[in-house]
């Protein structure tokens, strides 16, 4: 049976990029196998974050998971820090990843290239080791993520091959599952950059009000010319909006391009905003109901218990393999 696992870091307010590239798809996996979806709160500590902000972001992500259609009866939803086996497995697996590999990680380079070595914490450098532990602890076979995370999953696969070569078939080889449309949503103000919650210029936040979302889309940076077609290189702004529309409507890009071919930019943007709001407004309503009810706290508690049950089996297998007496 497939095991599907993914997580989102509570580092800031979730964006439309997080929604399209990851969150929106999680529920589709519920019919394919056993799903584990967690809040990667330990990962959020890898860059400075205010404690109250971290707490609020974590609660919000739990509510967003439920609002997106994840059913706690089918999916184990939990906080990473509630399951101590993540840190324990990390203590073992970090010995099978090498500094040279970690230095090549794009996320590390992007986040730290402008920082002085004396300000770069060990956690952000060792990030892929904890992420590999998250995945391997549940014998995950599929990991749904946006494109930016594929490199980390490839490194996890290298680690599995290295470890299994030495100790036998102990770890399960995972595979990244990247959505066809929307694996990399770009900033609305600079469509050559990824929309990212830690660099909020040009972001649409999932909690933005209707009028704000409309305004952001209507003033999104477009490209020279007046035609609407997909060309990532020469028309990054229009291509990004076409991608957003296709992802929200759940249609192929080619259909969106065909639909808009005789449109002017203004009317095109208006329809993109309508498509985003058609999905986000009911989503926001569900989020608010869940947040107000407080039921997500029970979900996290039960989820952590279930997660620990699975995790301890794999941890024991790894401990035995490497020769730890336990």
Distance CA 185, CA 20 (A): 8
Q: What string of DSSP letters covers 55-119?
A: HHHHHHHHHHHHHTT--TTTEEEEEGGG-THHHHHHHHHGGGS-HHHHHT-HHHHHHHTTS-GGG
Residue 137 or 256: the one with the smaller Cβ distance to ligand LTN is 137
Query: Which window, 145-153, 186-194, 223-231, 248-256, contacts ligand LTN (CB under 6 A)?
Result: 145-153
Total number of residues that touch ligand LTN (CB under 6 A):
14
Catalytic one of 183, 197, 216, 269: 197
From candidates 46, 81, 129, 149, binder to ligand LTN by CB under 6 A: 149
CA-based Rg of the chain, rounded to a whole angstrom? 20
CB of 183 to ligand ATP, least distance (A): 6
- Binding flag, residue 9, ligand LTN (CB under 6 A): yes
CA 132/CA 251 separation, integer angstroms: 33
Distance from C-alpha of 74 to C-alpha of 6, rounded to nearest angstrom: 15
Of the two residues 21 and 303, which places its CB atom closer to ligand ATP in the complex?
21
- Residue 175's DSSP bridge partners are 142
Work out whether 133 is an interface residue with ligand LTN (CB under 6 A): no
Considering only 4, 16, 37, 40, the residue that binds ligand LTN (CB under 6 A) is: 40
Closest separation in Å from C-beta 120 to ligand LTN: 17
Residue 23 binds ligand LTN (CB under 6 A): no
Residue 21 interface partner, choices ligand ATP, ligand LTN, none, CB cut-off 5-8 Å depending on type: ligand ATP
- Output 32 or 249, the one with its CB closest to ligand LTN: 32
In the chain, count H helices and then E strands: 15, 5
Q: In the annotation, is 319 catalytic?
A: no
End-to-end CA distance of the chain: 29
Q: What Cα–Cα distance (Å) separates residue 17 from each residue in 134, 155, 194, 195, 317?
A: 22, 23, 8, 6, 37
User: Is 111 a residue of the active site?
Assistant: yes
> Catalytic residues, which ones?
111, 194, 197
Residues that bind ligand LTN (CB under 6 A): 5-9, 40, 43, 131, 134-135, 143, 145, 149, 152
């Amino acid at each position: 049976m497939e095991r599907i696992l993914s997580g989102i870091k509570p580092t800031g307010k979730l964006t439309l990029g997080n929604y399209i590239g990851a969150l929106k798809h999680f529920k589709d996996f519920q019919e394919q196998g056993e799903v584990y979806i967690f809040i990667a709160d330990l990962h959020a500590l890898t860059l400075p974050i205010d404690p109250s902000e971290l707490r609020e972001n974590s609660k919000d992500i739990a509510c967003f998971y439920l609002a997106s259609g994840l059913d706690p009866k089918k999916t184990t939803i939990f906080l990473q820090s509630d399951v101590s086996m993540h840190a324990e497995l990390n203590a073992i697996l970090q010995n099978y990843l090498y500094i040279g590999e970690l230095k090549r990680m794009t996320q590390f380079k992007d986040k730290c290239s402008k920082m002085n070595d004396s300000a770069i914490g060990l956690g952000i450098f060792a990030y892929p080791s904890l992420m590999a532990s998250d995945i391997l602890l549940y014998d995950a076979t599929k990991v749904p993520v946006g494109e930016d995370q594929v490199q980390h999953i490839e490194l996890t696969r290298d680690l599995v091959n290295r470890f299994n070569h030495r100790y036998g078939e102990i770890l399960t080889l995972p595979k990244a599952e990247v959505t066809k449309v929307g694996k990399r949503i770009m900033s609305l103000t600079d469509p050559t950059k990824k929309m990212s919650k830690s660099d909020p210029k040009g972001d649409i936040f999932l909690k933005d009000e209707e009028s704000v979302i409309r305004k952001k889309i209507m003033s999104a940076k477009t490209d020279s010319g007046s035609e609407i077609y997909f060309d990532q290189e020469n028309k990054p702004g229009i291509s990004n909006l076409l991608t957003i529309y296709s992802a929200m409507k759940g249609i192929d890009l080619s259909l969106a391009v065909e639909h808009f071919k005789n449109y002017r930019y203004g009317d095109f943007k208006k329809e993109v905003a309508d498509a985003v709001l058609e999905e986000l407004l009911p989503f926001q309503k569900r989020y608010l109901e869940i947040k107000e009810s407080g039921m997500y706290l029970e979900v996290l508690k039960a989820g952590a218990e279930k997660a620990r049950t699975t995790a301890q089996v794999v941890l024991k297998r790894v401990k035995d393999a490497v020769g730890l007496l336990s």
